[in-house]
């Protein structure tokens, strides 16, 4: 194919380490200047490709690119935009080819979760069906940890470290005040269908003593059994700490926190199960409760990121470029676990066809028999993912993050409306 330029896009909800993957892509591409020319980043992901809003990353200094490794957010902007199939919306794909051809783009890197990896897979199909030579590699990212094949999803380890730390600290607060004040603290974390984030909260309690109660989407909420579990914890320890996924469902299969709103992917918007649950506890058990929804904080807390997670994120970015220049199309670099203790891992190749739009839920053998905790097998899996500290540099008491210039490239095609 000869020397070609590349497109890189970030998509979906951000993580504390998605920019570490961007760093891996950009630094590795610069090391392979004979195969890859410029790397154009799409402003707001695939939307930037469709509207020809491209950022020339070659303008950025080596220091700025290197600083992405410790900067949260999405340096080039993200989006929630899902391409339809070629047969449903051929014009979109013809537009992509028009933009790619105008900028001599032969490599496509897309960094995101299941829906985003579906976009990468569809672009690879576009190349085959519409006879445009392009190598497409998806780069895994999601705090939900629900991608198949890969041992874990970059972004999850840092979220897990943050929520477990936050819950452990809150538990010390509640334990100190429970004799005269609050007896229950509930933390709502992300997780629509997969309860990995809530499961990770159990790491906050060494040995799983019982004061912590988990509510996972994989386990149908049973009001009577739940209230009994909470009451037992209060009677034994004086307090109870609860971690719950936003996607907790009732016996009717409906989300307890469902709203009538939809996101850009057509998913029901969630958020607010914590006040529902704590109101139930207060009404039925007559105890004082406090709750918190960590929301964006859990996915953007770079100040307490997992070093293991940062290494994962950078490695999949680097591997994506290496796969691409080797001609590996419609694939994703995946993390393979070699051992738990010590934690050892490497990178393997996974076909996008087996990753896109798939969800990896918390397996039954990771969930305790009563459904309110995790097993030792789950602890062995989760524990290595939060290990290590990767503090960003600090200035005047606050993290010192980089903000790129993100200068637009001159448009060479006609205007296109998404």
Q: How much is the pLDDT for 257?
A: 79
Q: How much is the pLDDT for 271?
A: 73
Q: Which residues are part of the catalytic machinery?
A: 144
Least confident of 76-85, 312-321, 334-343: 76-85
Radius of gyration of the chain (CA): 22
Task: Give the whole-angstrom CA distance, residue 17 versus residue 315.
Answer: 11
| List of residues 6+ apart from 180 with CB closer than 8 A | none
Least confident of 49-53, 209-213, 323-327, 350-354: 209-213
pLDDT in tens, 257-305: 756 565 555 566 677 899 999 999 999 999 999 999 999 999 999 999 9
Torsion of CA 223, 256, 204, 336, to 10 degrees: 120
**Domain pair 4-153+303-358+390-399 / 157-300+369-386, same fold:** yes
Domain boundaries, the chain: 4-153+303-358+390-399, 157-300+369-386
- Count how many Cα atoms sit within 13 Å of the Cα of residue 405 in the half-sphere of its side chain: 13
Between the alpha carbon of residue 308 and those of residues 154, 158, 305, 315, 386, the distances in Å are: 9, 8, 9, 11, 7
Strand partners, 213: 242
Burial of 244 (C-beta count, 10 Å sphere; 0-12/13-18/19+)? buried
Average confidence (pLDDT) over 113-141: 95
Tell me how far apart the terminal alpha carbons of the chain are, to the nearest angstrom.
30
pLDDT in tens, 177-230: 999 999 999 999 999 999 999 999 999 998 666 689 999 999 999 999 999 999
Q: How much is the pLDDT for 262?
A: 59
Q: How much is the pLDDT for 269?
A: 67
> Using an 8 Å Cβ cutoff, are 202 and 163 in contact?
no
- Count how many Cα atoms sit within 13 Å of the Cα of residue 120 in the half-sphere of its side chain: 37
Q: How much is the pLDDT for 2?
A: 79
Architecture of domain 4-153+303-358+390-399: 3-Layer(aba) Sandwich (3.40)
Q: How much is the pLDDT for 359?
A: 93
Q: How much is the pLDDT for 241?
A: 97
Q: How much is the pLDDT for 405?
A: 98
Q: Percent of the chain, pLDDT > 90?
A: 90
Count of beta carbons in the 10 Å neighbourhood of residue 282: 14
Average confidence (pLDDT) over 355-359: 90
DSSP readout, 334-384? Answer: EEEEEETTTTEEEEEEEEGGGTTT---PPPGGGB-TTSSSB-HHHHHHHGG
Count of beta carbons in the 10 Å neighbourhood of residue 407: 10
Domain 157-300+369-386 class, CATH top level: alpha beta
Burial of 107 (C-beta count, 10 Å sphere; 0-12/13-18/19+)? buried
More confident residue, 82 or 144: 144
Which pLDDT band holds residue 357 (cuts at 50, 70, 90)? confident
Least confident of 32-46, 244-258, 377-391: 244-258
Q: How much is the pLDDT for 237?
A: 93
Q: How much is the pLDDT for 208?
A: 62
Q: How much is the pLDDT for 267?
A: 62
Q: How much is the pLDDT for 209?
A: 63
Average confidence (pLDDT) over 75-95: 93
Q: Is the pLDDT of residue 170 over 80?
A: yes
């Amino acid at each position: 194919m000869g020397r070609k330029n590349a497109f890189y896009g970030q998509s979906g909800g951000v993580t504390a380490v998605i920019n570490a993957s961007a760093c891996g892509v950009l630094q590795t591409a610069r090391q392979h200047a004979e195969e890859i020319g410029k790397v154009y980043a799409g402003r707001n992901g695939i939307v930037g490709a469709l509207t020809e809003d491209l950022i020339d990353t070659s303008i950025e200094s080596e220091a700025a690119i290197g600083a992405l490794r410790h900067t949260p957010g999405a340096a080039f902007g993200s989006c929630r935009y899902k391409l339809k199939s070629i047969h449903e919306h051929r014009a979109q794909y013809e537009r992509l080819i028009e933009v790619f051809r105008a900028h001599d783009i032969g490599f496509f890197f897309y960094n995101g979760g299941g829906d985003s990896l579906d976009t990468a897979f569809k672009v690879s199909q576009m190349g085959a069906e519409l006879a445009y030579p392009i190598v497409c590699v998806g780069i895994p990212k999601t705090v939900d940890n629900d991608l198949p094949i890969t041992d874990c999803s970059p972004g999850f380890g840092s979220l897990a470290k943050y929520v477990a730390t936050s819950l452990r600290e809150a538990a010390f607060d509640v334990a100190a005040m429970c004799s005269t004040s609050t007896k229950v603290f509930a933390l709502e974390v992300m997780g629509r269908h997969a309860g990995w984030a809530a499961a990770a909260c159990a790491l906050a309690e060494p040995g799983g003593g019982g004061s912590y109660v988990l509510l996972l989407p994989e386990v149908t909420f049973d009001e009577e059994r739940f209230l009994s579990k909470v009451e037992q914890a209060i009677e034994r320890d004086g307090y109870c700490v609860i971690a719950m996924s936003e996607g907790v469902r009732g016996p009717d299969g409906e989300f307890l926190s469902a709203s009538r709103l939809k996101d850009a992917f057509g998913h029901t918007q969630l958020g607010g199960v914590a006040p529902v649950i704590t109101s139930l506890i207060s009404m039925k058990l007559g105890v004082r409760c406090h709750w918190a929804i960590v929301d964006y904080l859990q996915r953007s807390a770079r100040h307490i990121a997992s070093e293991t997670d940062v290494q994962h994120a950078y490695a999949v970015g680097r591997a994506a470029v290496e796969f691409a220049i080797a001609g590996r199309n419609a694939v994703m670099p995946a993390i393979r676990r070699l051992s738990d203790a010590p934690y050892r891992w490497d990178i393997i190749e996974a076909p996008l066809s087996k990753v896109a739009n798939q969800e990896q839920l918390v397996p039954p053998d990771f969930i305790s028999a009563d459904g309110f905790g995790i097993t030792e097998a789950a602890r062995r899996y989760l524990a290595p993912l939060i290990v290590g500290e990767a503090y960003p540099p600090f200035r005047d008491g606050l993290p010192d993050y980089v903000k790129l210039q993100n200068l637009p490239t001159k448009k060479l095609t006609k205007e296109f409306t998404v």
